[in-house]
Amino acid sequence: MPEKNSPTIPAADRLSLSSGIWPSTATENENGALVLGGMSATEIAERHGTPVYVFDEADFRNRCARFRRAFEGFDVYYAGKAFMSRAAIRMVEEAGLSLDVCTEGELAFAKAIKFPAERILMHGNNKSTEELAAALDYGVGRIVVDSFAELDRLRELVPPFPGARPNILLRVTVGVRADTHAHIATAHEDQKFGFSLVSGEAAEAVRQVLRDGVLELRGLHSHIGSQILGTAGFEAAAKRLLELRAQFVRDGAALPELDLGGGFGIAYTPEDEPTEPEEMADILRTLVAKECAALGVDVPRLAIEPGRAIAGPSGVTLYTVGTVKHREGIRTFVAVDGGMSDNVRTALYDAAYSVRLAGRASDAPLQLVRVVGKHCDAGDVVVRDDQLPSDVRPGDLLAVPGTGAYCRSLAHNYNQVPRPPVVAVADGASREIVRRETIDDLLRLDVG
Ligand SMILES: *Cc1c(COP(=O)(O)O)cnc(C)c1O
């Protein structure tokens, strides 16, 4: 496989803070240190330690607003699993976006900040009765049902919630193979999510819900995967959903909504070229209008569920270098004080990341490096291949951009390494929004 981060891009462009892989407030100070939200990486590291996830608050708020504007007329649900914290979902709420949760735990965060229930949608491919009851009890706006077993569970739960005819969507597996890593492609036939379209399962589920009238079927849902850079997969999925919908609309069913899920990709390296939200919105709007006209049915209200595309670019992880090993004729390994416990995406999805020196300037020539962690696993890689100045040494601060989504939320404690804090920066000030885990926290869980 060609190495994605091969050094074909000129150094000046690679390091450029305006290349779309850094948060919008990123600059450099007179010492060559990275500045985020008006605070230098050096100050952030001194105050909060490393590793640390830095959350650029203005960048996050602006991106929420940008999606809201670009997708005017859509319901925009922030997918909370990308990065869930009370502070973050408060910002989501303030920006007027809605929220997608998929477990009772994520719902608990929404409840903790009194996120308006009608703007919450609940997902999950194996929701327990307790989770469904918690969702009904809070009065969430939409439940996306994933299986016949779940339809049964939900129907049985309805009586204790009189007056509530729960609004549901049915998750359809449309048979589109998204152009992304196999672990995050979710709409081809051979996977666990939803009702299959080709087998007729999805149509059967629609008929069943319409027939017994216990649940209010608002429409169909599809989520084709994650980190998708083009538009073809979304277009194919929308067409298939619309064709299925039209069969029932022609017979008099309303199905007023259509949810196209999330999955919009972001730039992790200068080689990634994501579709801008405005362009994506235009393409989807036009396509849906055209298809509906061709099918002779009304246009449903559209929804999307971006997670990564909102939270991802707002996050930068800062690490301190501990060792540098030059393996002659092979490569240089730069080991940092975190690793696969704070960013498992490289190991899990073969994800590509970028890195830069964050605490000082350097005129040394660039060299190809691999940034690795401190875990006892050869797969413990943070940045597979990128360039750093050849004088990189222990004590240097490094910054890895694009870590705002699926890093803290997928973090774990391998080797009993405590998870880093999330520090929000804005206007030259910083505050912890998720505190650093301590070894005492880990010991407290072990009650034996
Ligand atoms: C994960 C997920 C999302 C968000 O995906 P992103 O790639 O972060 O945009 C949206 N909807 C569903 C159903 C998901 O599972």
99 Cα to the center of ligand 1, angstroms: 11
Q: How many CB atoms lie under 10 A from the CB of residue 409?
A: 16
- Ligand 1 nearest-atom number relative to CA 221: 13
Ligand 1 atom 3, closest CA: 262
Residue 4: predicted pLDDT: 42
Give dist(CA 313, CA 18) in Å, integer.
12
Ligand 1 proximity of 151 Cβ (cutoff 6 Å): no
- Ligand 1 nearest-atom number relative to CA 186: 15
346 Cα to the center of ligand 1, angstroms: 19
- Ligand 1 nearest-atom number relative to CA 263: 7
Domain boundary among 312, 329, 358: 312
Residue 420: predicted pLDDT: 98
In a domain, 6, yes or no: no
Residue 5: predicted pLDDT: 44
- Name the residue of 76, 226, 268 whose CB sits within 8 Å of the most ligand 1 atoms, as the mutation to test its pocket: 226
Ligand 1 proximity of 23 Cβ (cutoff 6 Å): no
14 Cα to the center of ligand 1, angstroms: 29
**415, 369 contact by CB (below 8 A):** no
| Per-residue pLDDT band at 163 (split at 50, 70, 90) | low
Q: Distance between alpha carbon 40 and the CA centroid of its chain, in Å?
A: 26
In a domain, 5, yes or no: no
Ligand 1 atom 15, closest CA: 223
Q: What percent of the chain has pLDDT over 90?
A: 86
In a domain, 332, yes or no: yes
**DSSP H helix total and E strand total for the chain:** 13, 21
Query: Pairing between strand 98-101 and 331-336?
Result: unpaired
- Calculate the alpha carbon distances from 265 to 187, 274, 307, 412 in Å: 16, 6, 10, 24
Domain boundary among 312, 331, 353: 312
pLDDT at 177 exceeding the cut of 80? no
**306, 121 contact by CB (below 8 A):** no
Tell me the residue ranges of DSSP E strands in 328-395.
Answer: 331-336, 356-357, 366-372, 381-389
What average pLDDT does the segment 142-148 reach? 97
Residues 6 or more apart from 228 whose CB is under 8 A from it? 178, 179, 180, 234, 263, 264, 265
DSSP structure class, residue 117: G
376 a catalytic residue: yes
Ligand 1 proximity of 309 Cβ (cutoff 6 Å): yes
* Average pLDDT over all residues of the chain: 93
Query: Are 285 and 155 in a shared domain?
Result: yes
Q: Which of 185-194, 267-276, 320-329, 436-445 has the lowest mean pLDDT?
A: 185-194
Catalytic residue among 64, 102, 292, 376: 376
Tens digit of each residue's pLDDT (9 = 90 or more) over 179-220? 777 776 776 777 788 999 999 999 999 999 999 889 999 999
Tens digit of each residue's pLDDT (9 = 90 or more) over 84-103? 999 999 999 999 999 999 99
Ligand 1 proximity of 306 Cβ (cutoff 6 Å): yes
What average pLDDT does the segment 294-321 reach? 98
Residue 17: predicted pLDDT: 84
**267, 402 contact by CB (below 8 A):** yes
- Backbone dihedral region of 76: left (phi > 0), alpha (psi from -120 to 50 degrees) or beta? beta
Q: How many CB atoms lie under 10 A from the CB of residue 7?
A: 14
Give dist(CA 54, CA 40) in Å, integer.
11
Ligand 1 proximity of 82 Cβ (cutoff 6 Å): yes
Residue 229 burial by Cβ neighbours in a 10 Å radius (0-12, 13-18, 19+): middle
- Ligand 1 nearest-atom number relative to CA 228: 7
Residue 213: predicted pLDDT: 87
129 Cα to the center of ligand 1, angstroms: 22
- Supply the angle between the helices 57-70 and 86-94 in degrees, to the nearest 10: 40
227 Cα to the center of ligand 1, angstroms: 9
**CATH number, domain at 135?**
3.20.20.10
What average pLDDT does the segment 228-235 reach? 90
In a domain, 257, yes or no: yes
Total domain count, the chain? 2
Query: Are 51 and 31 in a shared domain?
Result: yes
Ligand 1 proximity of 219 Cβ (cutoff 6 Å): no
pLDDT at 150 exceeding the cut of 80? yes
pLDDT at 6 exceeding the cut of 80? no
Largest distance between two CA atoms of the chain = 72
**149, 225 contact by CB (below 8 A):** no
Residues 6 or more apart from 109 whose CB is under 8 A from it? 80, 84, 85, 86, 89, 101
Query: Are 49 and 67 in a shared domain?
Result: no
**CATH number, domain at 32?**
2.40.37.10
Residue 7: predicted pLDDT: 45
Query: Are 229 and 359 in a shared domain?
Result: no
**154, 215 contact by CB (below 8 A):** yes
Query: Are 308 and 400 in a shared domain?
Result: no
**409, 84 contact by CB (below 8 A):** yes
In a domain, 234, yes or no: yes
- Calculate the alpha carbon distances from 250 to 247, 292, 296, 352, 364 in Å: 6, 11, 8, 46, 68
Query: Are 256 and 374 in a shared domain?
Result: no
Query: Are 183 and 255 in a shared domain?
Result: yes
| Per-residue pLDDT band at 1 (split at 50, 70, 90) | very low
Residue 119: predicted pLDDT: 98
Query: Are 206 and 111 in a shared domain?
Result: yes
Ligand 1 atom 10, closest CA: 262
pLDDT at 10 exceeding the cut of 90? no
Q: Angle 268-287-191 (CA atoms, 0-180°, nearest 5)?
A: 55
225 Cα to the center of ligand 1, angstroms: 7
- Domain residues for the domain of 377 are 11-56+313-445
Ligand 1 proximity of 308 Cβ (cutoff 6 Å): yes
**Helices (DSSP H) in 218-336: which residue ranges?**
232-249, 277-295, 308-311
pLDDT at 112 exceeding the cut of 50? yes
135 Cα to the center of ligand 1, angstroms: 19
Tens digit of each residue's pLDDT (9 = 90 or more) over 329-364? 899 999 999 999 999 999 999 999 999 999 999 999
What average pLDDT does the segment 101-126 reach? 97
In a domain, 2, yes or no: no
Ligand 1 proximity of 261 Cβ (cutoff 6 Å): yes
Residues 6 or more apart from 429 whose CB is under 8 A from it? 37, 38, 39
Helix (H, G, I), strand (E, B) or coil at 176: coil
In a domain, 30, yes or no: yes
Q: How would you label 203-219 residue by residue, b for 16+ Cβ within 10 Å and e otherwise?
A: bebbebbbeeebbebbb
Give dist(CA 171, CA 177) in Å, integer.
16
